[in-house]
């Protein structure tokens, strides 16, 4: 299976931005802009915006996801949100392992694996984020780091379940910095992830997985990144907060 047969997915990660009414307005503005687009469109909203976004997106191309989930289905975990709760309100996606969760909120490869498992068990599609720090790139261990993060996160994930996993390669040094991996750097790591998937599963399965790039992707650089043979979409932070920019990236992915 080649790139043309894989699902291209453009996902926005709003992070801790937008009030519920702003989420509604954003989705309403975006819907007509993406009605005929040739890729899947996802917006990952703050928990309290989810219901507003889901209601606004109903019946459209736009799908809604969360940015994190706990690994337990319920229990004494003050302040946390469980994956079945997300599914119950109509969320379809959840991000796990975002570098901000790893760096600022103590997520480890092990907890990312547990959150991924919980998302899959709840019936969500998981957008699993992996990425190296600048020092790791400079030490020439990027591929090793990415392979380890991916392998641990996918522990126990079956071939069938992998159909509901999207992997987002997000070099930490490129997130929110305005620095973007070159198209060649992005493709090299995405290809390394696909090679790992072929080792863990098989080549046909690996070829079917959507592998995104994220890190300062914007309307200006999206087309070149998305043209790479192993870059099947993007996870967009800053540029997903502006409908025109986000729609332009979606257009670039639809060609
Ligand atoms: P950015 O964020 O596009 O603002 O760099 C990407 C991300 O964190 O997913």
For ligand 1, the distance from its centroid to the CA atom of residue 12, given in whole angstroms, is 9
How open is the CA angle 201-206-212, to the nearest 5 degrees?
135
Q: What is the CA(249)–ligand 1 centre distance, in A?
A: 13
Query: Do the beta carbons of residue 76 and residue 101 sit within 8 Å?
Result: no
131 lines ligand 1 (CB under 6 A): no
* Beta carbon of 249 within 6 Å of any ligand 1 atom: no
| Cβ–ligand 1 contact at 97 (below 6 Å) | no
Architecture of domain 9-254: Alpha-Beta Barrel (3.20)
Is the distance from the beta carbon of residue 215 to the nearest atom of ligand 1 less than 6 Å?
Answer: yes
- Full-model pTM: 0.98
Measured in whole angstroms, the distance separating CA 170 from the mean position of its chain's CA atoms is 9
Relative to the CA of 240, which ligand 1 atom is closest? Answer: 3
Give burial (CB, 10 Å; 0-12/13-18/19+) of 38.
exposed
What is the DSSP code string of 122-155? TTPEEEEEE---HHHHHTT-HHHHHHHHHHHHTT
- Nearest to residue 176, comparing CAs of 90, 61, 98? 98
- Determine how many CB atoms are found less than 10 A away from the CB of residue 135: 10
**Could you give the CA distance from residue 245 to residue 249 in angstroms, rounded to a whole number?**
6
Pairing of strands 93-96, 233-236: unpaired
Most ligand 1 atoms within 8 A of CB, residue of 238, 239, 249 to mutate:
238
In the reported structure, the alpha carbon of residue 216 is separated from the centroid of ligand 1 by a whole-number distance in angstroms of 5
The reported pLDDT for the residue numbered 187 is 98
Whole-number Å distance between alpha carbons of 67 and 21: 19
Question: CA 131, CA 121: separation in Å to the nearest integer?
Answer: 24
146 lines ligand 1 (CB under 6 A): no
* CA-based radius of gyration for the chain: 17
From the alpha carbon of 100, which atom of ligand 1 is closest? 8
Q: What is the pLDDT along the chain (255 residues), one digit of tens a residue?
A: 688 889 999 999 999 999 999 999 999 999 999 999 999 999 999 999 999 999 999 999 999 999 999 999 999 999 999 999 999 999 999 999 999 999 999 999 999 999 999 999 999 999 999 999 999 999 999 999 999 999 999 999 999 999 999 999 999 999 999 889 999 999 999 999 999 999 999 999 999 999 999 999 999 999 999 999 999 999 999 999 999 999 999 999 987
DSSP structural state of residue 232:
-
CA 75 to chain centre: 27
Q: Which residue lies with its CA nearest to atom 1 of ligand 1?
A: 237
Q: Which residue has the tokens 């620095």?
A: 179
- H helices within 67-127, ranges in order? 83-88, 99-104, 109-121
d(CA 233, CA 245) in angstroms, rounded, equals 15
Out of 11, 170, 178, give the residue to mutate to test ligand 1, the one with the largest number of ligand atoms within 8 Å of its CB.
Answer: 170
Q: In this structure, how many other beta carbons lie within 10 angstroms of the beta carbon of residue 76?
A: 6
């Amino acid at each position: 299976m080649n790139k043309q047969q894989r699902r291209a997915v453009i996902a926005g990660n709003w992070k801790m931005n937008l009030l519920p009414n702003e989420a509604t307005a954003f989705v309403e503005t975006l819907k007509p802009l993406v009605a005929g687009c040739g890729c899947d469109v996802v917006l990952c909203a703050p928990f309290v915006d989810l219901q507003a976004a889901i209601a606004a997106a109903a019946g459209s191309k736009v799908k809604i996801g969360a940015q994190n989930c706990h690994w337990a289905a319920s229990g004494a975990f003050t302040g946390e949100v469980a994956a079945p709760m997300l599914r119950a309100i109509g969320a379809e996606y959840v991000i796990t392992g975002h570098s901000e969760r790893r760096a600022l909120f103590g997520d480890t490869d092990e907890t990312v694996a547990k959150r991924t498992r919980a998302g899959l068990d709840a019936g969500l599609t998981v957008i699993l984020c992996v990425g190296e720090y600048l020092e790791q790139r400079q030490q020439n261990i990027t591929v090793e780091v990415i392979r380890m993060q991916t392998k641990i996160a996918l522990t126990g994930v079956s071939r069938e379940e992998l159909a509901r996993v999207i992997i987002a390669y997000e070099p930490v040094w490129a997130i929110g910095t305005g620095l973007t991996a070159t198209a060649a750097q992005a493709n090299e790591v995405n290809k390394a992830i696909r090679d790992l998937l072929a080792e863990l599963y098989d080549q046909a399965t690996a070829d079917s997985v959507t592998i995104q790039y994220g890190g300062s992707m914007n309307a200006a650089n999206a087309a070149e990144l998305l043209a790479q043979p192993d870059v099947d979409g993007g996870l967009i932070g800053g540029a997903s907060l502006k409908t025109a920019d986000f729609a332009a990236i979606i257009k670039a992915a639809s060609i």
